[in-house]
Amino acid sequence: MRGVSSYQQAQPFDRLVYLISRDYDFASYISQQITHFGYTIQHIRDISKVNGNLADSHSVAILIDIPAGSEHDGSAFFDLVGSLQLESRALVFISDVDNQDVRMKSLRAGGTAFFTRPVDIVSLIDTLDSVNRTISTPQPSRVLIVEDQFTVASYYQMVLKMAGMDAQIATRSSNVLDLVRDFHPDLILMDTFMADINTADLARVIRQIDEFVSIPIIFLSSEDDFSKRIEALDLGGDDLLIKPIKAAHLKAVVRSRLERSRILRSFMVRDSLTSLLNHTAFRSVLAQEVLRSKRQNTKLALAMLDIDHFKSVNDMYGHSAGDSVLKGLSRLLKQRLRNFDIVGRYGGDELVALLIDCDEDEAFKIMDEIRKHFSEIEFYPDYTRPLYLTFSCGISTFPKYQHAETLSDAADRGLYSAKAGGRNQVFIA
């Protein structure tokens, strides 16, 4: 079970970012802003105080505020940065000046990104998130092995686990669908022959369920017959491996299919602007999680959010400014919720979050905290003065509402009540 009896903040708020800057006010501002997104700032005022241990730290990145005048005093400052040998971390330069010369100096000093003041916080968070993903441990891919010979299945499981994957075994056909629903495999390995069922029929049943259509199925067979390969493809299979299967071959095929499937699923289910689940994908996941909560007797909370006066942002500053605000709120939700909580874009400026194993009171506290953080984020749509925004939120919970539709309708009513009550608040339906 993925949830816990009491909601726990899952994001590790120890993602360290160093900031080298002589400007205390600027350092305080940057620290306050990126802390909203789960990062911790350690300020170093004097670059000469940087020691070699900085490069070996577990920091996500090093932000370097270029002192005023450094762009005019030759390359002394940038030579000093280069001499510190900080290449093991992402270097992000920040400057009051934006021209080719200072950008070139920053690049030659090892810079991977460059920002000008006032800093676009959402873009900075995008950069930090991108870096953080490259240095963090990714979630292992999940593979379900459908094989009635336990010894054979255990061998496949061992091979895949040694390759960094999470593999589970189904030796009986009767519980395959439940395992698929609970385990959410990224790929299924299925023997073409099982004593207790026709696996062709089992594959067809899996393919008839909408949320399982995109899961790759690799069939395993002892018969090296071309007609069997054709039959496997006709059943909706993505490949057929002939037993006995060498470990290296199994790992290579599974990895290739997983990567291809990951890319395709991303295009199918993700919103292009925010990278959150799109409307259709979120509704499918919502239905799955409601069924899971019923089977496991766990709690579930659905939060529906709408940015207050969002139309006026688009009208006054343009749609690119509105897009930046949406990305900022999306990032905030992803950072402040747990890895297995689910966030989606329902449409327009309306976002949704599904909090796993979370009751009404816990959901209110979490979403109200996120609301406060969002209201303190500075956006610079016209690059002159900060813009502060708020959102309204409606919350519904399972088992109070027993079905995906009623849960969604209740959250929508809660959102309407929050907006009607003055906006910038969380309302429980």
**What is the domain-level CATH number for residue 231?**
3.40.50.2300
Domain assignment of residue 8, yes or no: no
Domain assignment of residue 10, yes or no: no
| CA 78 – CA 83 distance, rounded (Å) | 9
Indicate whether 249 and 334 sit together in one domain. no
Domain assignment of residue 305, yes or no: yes
| CA 300 – CA 282 distance, rounded (Å) | 15
Indicate whether 287 and 385 sit together in one domain. yes
pLDDT in tens, 179-193: 888 888 999 999 888
Indicate whether 121 and 25 sit together in one domain. yes
Residue at a domain's end among 246, 269, 292: 269
Indicate whether 76 and 147 sit together in one domain. no
Q: Helices then strands (H, E): number in the chain?
A: 14, 15
Q: Which of 105-109, 164-168, 425-429 has the lowest mean pLDDT?
A: 105-109
The whole domain housing 111 covers: 15-135
Q: What is the pLDDT of residue 182?
A: 85
Indicate whether 308 and 239 sit together in one domain. no
Indicate whether 294 and 417 sit together in one domain. yes
Indicate whether 121 and 190 sit together in one domain. no
Could you give the number of structural domains in the chain? Answer: 3
Indicate whether 390 and 303 sit together in one domain. yes
Domain assignment of residue 5, yes or no: no
Q: CB under 8 Å to 411, separation ≥6 — which residues?
A: 302, 303, 304, 352, 394, 395, 396, 429
Indicate whether 365 and 314 sit together in one domain. yes
349, 368, 351, 347: which is closest to 310 by C-alpha? 349
Q: CB under 8 Å to 40, separation ≥6 — which residues?
A: 13, 14, 15, 16, 17
Indicate whether 20 and 131 sit together in one domain. yes
Q: What is the pLDDT of residue 4?
A: 37
Residue at a domain's end among 102, 135, 168: 135
User: How sure is the predictor about 225, in pLDDT bands with cuts at 50, 70 and 90?
Assistant: low
Residue at a domain's end among 211, 239, 269: 269
pLDDT in tens, 285-314: 899 899 989 988 999 999 999 999 999 999
Indicate whether 21 and 126 sit together in one domain. yes
Cβ atoms 33, 331 nearer than 8 A? no
Range ranked top by mean pLDDT from 218-222, 272-276, 412-416 = 412-416
pLDDT in tens, 300-359: 999 999 999 999 999 999 988 899 999 999 999 988 898 889 999 988 889 999 999 999
